[in-house]
Amino acid sequence: MKYLEEGEIVNCITEITKRDILDLFKNGLEIENFFETKTVRYAYFGRLEELDFLKRLYKLEEMPSYDSRFPNAEGDILQHTVNNDDYPNCWVFEDKRFCLQNGNDEMYLKFLCEIFHPTVRNEKGYWKEFLNEINKLLQNDGYELYPKEKISNRDVYGWKIFQREEALFVPYSQRNEKDIKEKKIVLSISKKARKQIYEFLERCNMEYQATDYTGWNYCTNIATDVFSDIRQFYVPKSFNSQKEYVETDSLADFIMATSPFCVLDAIELFARHSTMDNFEDKINTILKLNNIKFQLSNGRLVNSIDFQITKNSLGKVDEAGLKELLQEASKYYDENNMQIALEKIWDAFERLKTYYCSSTVDKKKSINRIVKKMGNNQQAFMNLFDNEFQTLTHLGNEFRIRHHETTKIDINDKKYFEYFYRRCLALIIIAIEYL
């Protein structure tokens, strides 16, 4: 994602991607069907009437008409999509009133998410195939659609910044090896909790057919993949009945009788390989029930005491620039790169200040509006949050938050980085809840 001065975001979805998505809905998608390829189609408005779909996103009665016989877009569209039926297929994508061709990324992504809303989508149609193809196209420009919540046990899709997987995933114990050795991170997992974790992972331990480099098909399972990943970093071991710490490839032995940090490794790696629905929610329930102060978020375990930006928090952010900065801050924090994490969270704070900015609303008015919402019209809390905005702004002016600012006070202790980061994050998290 590219930025101009003061965090201004450059729209990243290219004309090429938008044209490819339009062609997808216009011309259909080719899929493999047994031994032949066939073209399948899916209407962007799903099982709704086209006009009803558009009403979910736009106030058509307030939009202009291109037909002088009608006072607004609603009458115009009704006439030309129902009565005359002379608008071309997928006309809306190129109609300037809907800002899909030349509007901002947020508007375009919101439109795409609505296509796959449970109320809209045709469950008997090829919506999943179209969703997958659209995601492939969006990922080239740095976005993806993802299931952010459920309604009636059906996925509701939101959008987020697409982060390509690392070539090699580094599990928890290895990412935090130094802090674990120095006893800065301590962890104990009871036998009861280990048993629950093992039983859950065993339910996820699906068998499947794989093919080796010679073309030979063989049967394997997820646990085998997990142990293979672990062996890239260390030999998996557990205590046997003689209390000897020996190599193992038994999932039960590994979970029940190894280092608690190795148990975290197994959870993360199972999360990467498992196809179980709501894996994160289910493992987090087990951790919470057993008072284990960790939670799985976006495939990584983090200390829940060090409250971080979670998938649920990000799902509430509708502004692309702010969302990306929060994701980057969280990523660098997890990687223990505190200087860059602090830069990103401070950039997010500056971006937050402009949340309501427009041609008639400047940054100061935007902050006042944010504070009013956060304070819920209670003067004491409005004063509290206003003071916090002012204090954090002062800290940003005094201290060297960004590494290129050479005229400010250096932050020379990791604990100070932690303090600034957490204080700024606390304000952003509460602001997100009210915005």
What are the structure tokens assigned to 82, written together? 């129902």
* Sequential DSSP letters for 260-308: HHHHHHHHHHHHHH---TTHHHHHHHHHHHTT--EEEETTEEEETTS--
Q: What angle do CA 421, 425, 431 make, to 5 degrees?
A: 160
Average pLDDT over residues 265-283: 91
Structure confidence at residue 48 as a pLDDT band (50, 70, 90): very high
Structure confidence at residue 277 as a pLDDT band (50, 70, 90): confident
Residues 6+ apart with CB under 8 A from 185: 176, 179, 261, 303
Look at residue 109 in the predicted model and tell me its pLDDT. Answer: 94
19-33, 80-94, 204-218, range with the lowest pLDDT: 204-218
Average pLDDT over residues 396-423: 84
At 179-233, the pLDDT tens digits run 889 887 889 999 999 999 999 999 999 998 888 777 788 899 999 999 999 999 9
In percent, the amount of the chain with pLDDT more than 70 equals 91
Q: Is the distance from CB of 207 to CB of 217 less than 8 angstroms? A: no
Average pLDDT over residues 27-55: 90
Structure confidence at residue 34 as a pLDDT band (50, 70, 90): low
Q: Is the distance from CB of 297 to CB of 308 less than 8 angstroms? A: yes
Look at residue 313 in the predicted model and tell me its pLDDT. Answer: 59
Listed in sequence order, the DSSP H helices in 39-90 are 50-55, 73-78
Is residue 135 pLDDT above 90, yes or no?
yes
Look at residue 317 in the predicted model and tell me its pLDDT. Answer: 67
Average pLDDT over residues 141-170: 83
Residue that the structure tokens 């399948």 belong to: 40
Q: What is the pTM of this model?
A: 0.52
Look at residue 359 in the predicted model and tell me its pLDDT. Answer: 75
Is residue 297 pLDDT above 90, yes or no?
no
Look at residue 258 in the predicted model and tell me its pLDDT. Answer: 95
Look at residue 315 in the predicted model and tell me its pLDDT. Answer: 59
Is residue 236 pLDDT above 90, yes or no?
yes
Structure confidence at residue 6 as a pLDDT band (50, 70, 90): very low
Is residue 7 pLDDT above 50, yes or no?
no
Listed in sequence order, the DSSP H helices in 98-150 are 105-115, 127-139
d(CA 302, CA 283): 13
Is residue 2 pLDDT above 50, yes or no?
no
Look at residue 316 in the predicted model and tell me its pLDDT. Answer: 62
Is residue 360 pLDDT above 70, yes or no?
yes
Q: Is the model more confident about 44 or about 184?
A: 44
Beta strands in 77-169 (DSSP E): 143-151, 154-161
Look at residue 132 in the predicted model and tell me its pLDDT. Answer: 94
Is residue 289 pLDDT above 80, yes or no?
yes
Sign of dihedral through CA atoms 237, 239, 245, 246? negative
Instruction: Give the chain's mean pLDDT.
Output: 88
d(CA 137, CA 50): 24
Is residue 346 pLDDT above 70, yes or no?
yes
Q: What angle do CA 252, 257, 262 make, to 5 degrees?
A: 90
In percent, the amount of the chain with pLDDT more than 90 equals 57
314 Rama class: left (phi>0) / alpha (psi -120 to 50) / beta: alpha
Look at residue 312 in the predicted model and tell me its pLDDT. Answer: 55
Look at residue 169 in the predicted model and tell me its pLDDT. Answer: 86
Is residue 401 pLDDT above 90, yes or no?
no
d(CA 421, CA 333): 9
Is residue 56 pLDDT above 90, yes or no?
yes
Average pLDDT over residues 257-261: 95
Phi/psi for 217 (5° steps) reads -85, 135
Average pLDDT over residues 90-116: 93
Dihedral in degrees, nearest 10, Cα atoms 31, 37, 42, 44: 60
Average pLDDT over residues 39-55: 95
Helix (H) or strand (E) holding 422: helix 414-434
Out of 43-57, 144-158, 213-227, the most confident range is 43-57
